[in-house]
Amino acid sequence: MTKLSVNVNKIATLRNARGGNLPDLIQVAKDCEKFGAQGITVHPRPDGRHIRYEDVRNLKKIVTTEFNIEGYPSKDFIDLVLEVKPDQVTLVPDAPDAITSNNGWDTIKYREMLFEICQNFKKEGIRTSIFVNPETIMVQNAKLCGTDRIELYTEGYAVNYPINPKTAIESYSQCAEEAIKQGLGINAGHDLNLHNLNYFAQNISQLLEVSIGHALICDALYLGLEETIHRYLSALKISL
């Protein structure tokens, strides 16, 4: 079964809007795990507008499932990851002022840089994942970057799924097959939700993990956090 990693950035955004500690990020992360989530994801950014570096340190102390840190590999980010030693680091090519991740790596142009970074993390026992667009050539070159996994950037799938699911999934299925051929693990994330997640999981071979934050937290406003996590876990079950 594909693992569900809950991105708790939006919880930190809400907390930061008023200051103080409401909602309690640490308690929410604990509750996500208690309700069945198999991982916690964070994406700290330089301006600290949601997850802060100190949050990352505090979460490391209490997360009992898989801990995944996403981010652009600046020196400060690399130092944080090497200090905290999460289970997984996901490298994304975000500009410092990016609202959200909106593109994958050019694994040809940045191959040498990514290779060096991946090697540094892997020496410390940290699994690496590289955020890529659904292009087979980028998956092929991700292998040459020395990564353990790729994370497929799924905004394009989410946008096109309501129009034509079969067309929307095609490039992602091709990339998954290429990743398997290259010996890479497959993660996915961005705009996956209760409407499109099951079809994605049904059609992506050997999908190991999805990271979902914004849509899941929005659903939780209506359904409650426990019910929402249960529904996402149900959507990831493959019907044979």
- Contact of 200 with 215, CB cutoff 8 Å: no
Helix (H) or strand (E) run with residue 211 in it:
strand 207-212
Task: State the sign of the Cα–Cα–Cα–Cα dihedral 46, 100, 195, 152.
Answer: negative
The answer to whether residue 178 is catalytic is no
Long-range contacts of 143-147 (CB under 8 A, 24+ apart): 143/182, 143/183, 143/184, 144/107, 144/111, 144/115, 145/107, 145/110, 145/111, 145/114, 145/115, 145/118, 146/114, 146/115, 146/118, 146/119, 146/122, 147/91, 147/114, 147/118, 147/184
Annotated catalytic residue: which of 33, 66, 190, 209? 190
Q: Which two three-digit tokens encode residue 104?
A: 């994958």
Annotated catalytic residue: which of 33, 50, 66, 70? 70
The single-letter code of the amino acid at 11 is I
* 116-127: b (≥16 Cβ within 10 Å) or e: ebbeebeeeebb
CA distance 218 to 14: 12
Tell me the β-bridge partners of 40: 6, 67
Q: Tell me how many degrees the CA angle 10-175-69 measures, rounded to the nearest 5.
A: 30
The answer to whether residue 170 is catalytic is no
The answer to whether residue 43 is catalytic is yes
What residues act catalytically?
Answer: 43, 70, 190
